[in-house]
Structure 1
């Protein structure tokens, strides 16, 4: 499949078209390097990564059985990073009781000199709708840093309910869950929205 072919897209009434395409660890590495090392991406924990470090990390994800990475587009231009993973195999193994249909998620919005009001919320809404577009996804699981209050508010806006803190090797995380029904109630959208 071409890396330019969107796997999912939706139109936001205020901000236009959002889409998600597969990430290419080679052609996207320079773009990603600028995003993950930006001061606003401190919670991504790659501030000191070199370009080869970023390339290696996303090559590892591309080769992984239980982890996928995608580039999010806004009006056809790269604007965010999305990762999907199996929390029973990665990130949260042994930290909670995984259920069938659980999907882990990370997202990162690209830094911008001209921020758009509501943009990050439109991004997380797109990410969640894309995850729920897969009928096998029953619940999305996230584990942001407990100090990342901005993302906690965004998570709540799309239906996440905090379970409580869990200690990961790299951080204390706020384990939170969002079922398909909670997402639909919070946003009025279904995963099938295109």
Structure 2
């Protein structure tokens, strides 16, 4: 079962784990490659204190497996960079690096994160802004219903703005097995 809980920036063990995840070579698009553990802690404390941004640890059967962030793109990350609509929810996700990848795992995580976001009836559209060079996540996004809006220039990167409505998500994942989502802890 997949569950979510807030990142605990005061836990040394959790910050060390997240530091390994965000500085791993496969996390290059997370833009934290050169961060020290204390910088990771500061970032997740800043997110925890922000009224329109949250970071959650994704657990699979109680074990940390991915990181997810949910934010209001009209107030964080994309302010003034796109045409914001009521009900927009920004999202980032990062799977834990592993030496033994499981086929379909990342798609299952993305599907679970979207199902969790869309469980909120106020969430009408998910907005993402992956790096234009991150073609792997762009293909994954398309597979779960995201439609490309177009490129946008962010201070830290050139991004490809994409959106996904509940109906787009349902249409793309109808034949897929939606992961069982547990309660928010």
TM-score (norm 1): 0.88
Distance in 2, Cα, partners of 1:20 & 1:131: 11
Answer yes or no: is 1:25 the counterpart of 2:6: no
Distance in 1, Cα, partners of 2:27 & 2:74: 26
Could you report, residue by residue, the CA deviation over 1:37-83 in whole angstroms, capped at 9, with x for unpaired residues? Answer: 00100000100100100000000000001100000112221010000
Distance in 1, Cα, partners of 2:63 & 2:51: 28
Distance in 2, Cα, partners of 1:120 & 1:55: 25
What's the CA shift for 1:33?
Answer: 0.4
Over the residues paired in the alignment, what is the CA RMSD in angstroms?
1.3
Structure 2 gaps, min length 5: none
Structure 1 equivalent of residue 156 of structure 2: 170
Answer yes or no: is 1:59 the counterpart of 2:45: yes
What's the CA shift for 1:97?
Answer: 1.2
What SS class does the counterpart of residue 34 from structure 1 fall into? helix
Higher relative contact order (CA 8 A, sep 6+): 2
Structure 1 equivalent of residue 23 of structure 2: 37
Q: Which runs of 4+ in 1 moved over 2 A?
A: none
Structure 1 gaps, min length 5: 1-16
TM-score (norm 2): 0.92
